[in-house]
Structure 1
Amino acid sequence: MALPSWLESLKAAQKTCILQDGRRKVHYLFSDGKEMAEEYDAKSHELLVRKWRQKSALGAYGQWQIEVGDPPLPVAGTIQSDFLKESSSNPTFTRKDTKSSFQWRIRNLPYAKEVYSVTVDKKDRCCIIRTTNKKYYKKFSIPDLDRCQLDLNENALSFAHANNTLIVTYQKPKEILSLEEELQRELKSLKTTNEGDVECKTQ
């Protein structure tokens, strides 16, 4: 799906918009049945959360898959054996974007910055994090670029390390920035309801 097609599919999706807890929450329902939910800071308009779900072959909705933002905390009362929990010292990988870049934070990585390398694999359309001490390896894609069929650019990639956290940054290409500006204009035209009101779908 090339960039214009992705933008058109966003515009064509059924959208619901609600203002809650200082966040603008937008729900998209696409013609193929997939759902996307986004949350933006109501003041800065920065994307805080993006998640997806779709129905199974039997028509039941699957779990939400987080693309941007922290995974949800376990719901109180759910059955979760303590011995099955991940160790709190394991590396955690989350994506938190800024207006100008895609950004990932990998916490619990105590090694010096010189240990890491972050590269682009154009053939597999992914970024790869490696450590010279063989303690950490991660491949990850950038779905935004895949949806718009944009090539990965090694020069857009950089990283920093502080407080046991590796921060990987990929500068958004101009095509993505233009798309996001257009989408923000589209979202501002939606009728937004406040918390407690009945949610209102697009006209």
Structure 2
Amino acid sequence: GKRKIHYLFEDGKEMAEEYDVKTGLLVSRKWREKNTLGGSGKWQVEVGEPTSPLLGALESELIKESSSNPVFMRKDTLSSFQWRIRNLPYPKEVYSVSVEKEQRCCVIRTTNKKYYKKFSIPDLDRYQLPLDAAALSFTHANNTLIITYQKPKEILAAEEQLQKELKKIKAANNGDGDCKTQ
């Protein structure tokens, strides 16, 4: 099953996390901020499958994103942050993945100039930790580029502490698909 944790922060931000009950792995993390009128904004997916925008019946027939477009998503393991980009057909030799320390981001490039992407690691930003090029690696299989960044010991320790805290929390209401508040 899945365990959902909902956080409300003093600055008005909201965070919702889902964990796999058996493994304790983070399945998804979404953020939401209040908009300028004070209403709830849209959820921004940080970890997990990107949510497809729900379109009306007419709109979905007229304009639809190509199913062969690259799909970028983050899926973490216990020891590393991991990003998967589906629908990238080129061989591994075409890709280069590097760290831009000044811009605090990782960059994916292809020698054939067909794909370019910059992405940050919000977890490192939250803990104000530097990016380490040695922690970054990548592989390519089944038209999917898999980028792995080994978690620093500070983040591993913080996640272990968080898991201990989450085990102490009781469900807000005893049901299956319910939200747990902290």
Structure 1 position 195 matched with structure 2 position 175: yes
Q: How does 1:123-202 map to 2 (within 5 A)?
A: 123-192=102-171, 193-195=173-175, 201-202=181-182
Which secondary structure state, in structure 2, belongs to the residue aligned with residue 117 of structure 1? Answer: strand
C-alpha RMSD of the superposition: 1.8
Partner of 1:119: 98
Which secondary structure state, in structure 2, belongs to the residue aligned with residue 43 of structure 1? Answer: coil
TM-score by length of 1: 0.84
Q: How does 1:70-89 map to 2 (within 5 A)?
A: 70-75=49-54, 80-89=59-68
Percent of aligned pairs sharing the same letter:
67
Structure 1 position 52 matched with structure 2 position 42: no
In structure 2, what residue type is equivalent to 1:188? K
Structure 1 residue 163: deviation in Å? 0.3
In structure 2, what residue type is equivalent to 1:97? D
Partner of 1:91: 70
In structure 2, what residue type is equivalent to 1:35? E
| 2-structure distance, mates of 1:199, 1:27 | 6
Structure 1 residue 51: deviation in Å? 0.3
Deviations 1:141-198 (A, max 9, x none): 0000001100000000000000000000000000000000011111111112443587
In structure 2, what residue type is equivalent to 1:195? G
Structure 1 residue 57: deviation in Å? 1.6
Q: How does 1:37-48 map to 2 (within 5 A)?
A: 37-48=16-27
Greater RCO, 1 or 2 (C-alpha within 8 Å, sep 6+): 1
Which secondary structure state, in structure 2, belongs to the residue aligned with residue 71 of structure 1? Answer: coil
Partner of 2:48: 69
Aligned length: 181
Q: How does 1:102-113 map to 2 (within 5 A)?
A: 102-113=81-92
| 1-structure distance, mates of 2:143, 2:14 | 35
Is the alpha carbon distance of 1:78 and 1:184 closer, same or farther for their aligned partners in structure 2, counting shifts above 3 Å?
farther
| 2-structure distance, mates of 1:61, 1:77 | 21
TM-score by length of 2: 0.93
Q: Is the 8 A contact 2:136 2:150 kept in 1?
A: yes
Give structure 1 regions of 4+ aligned residues with deviation exceeding 6 angstroms: none
| 2-structure distance, mates of 1:176, 1:47 | 13
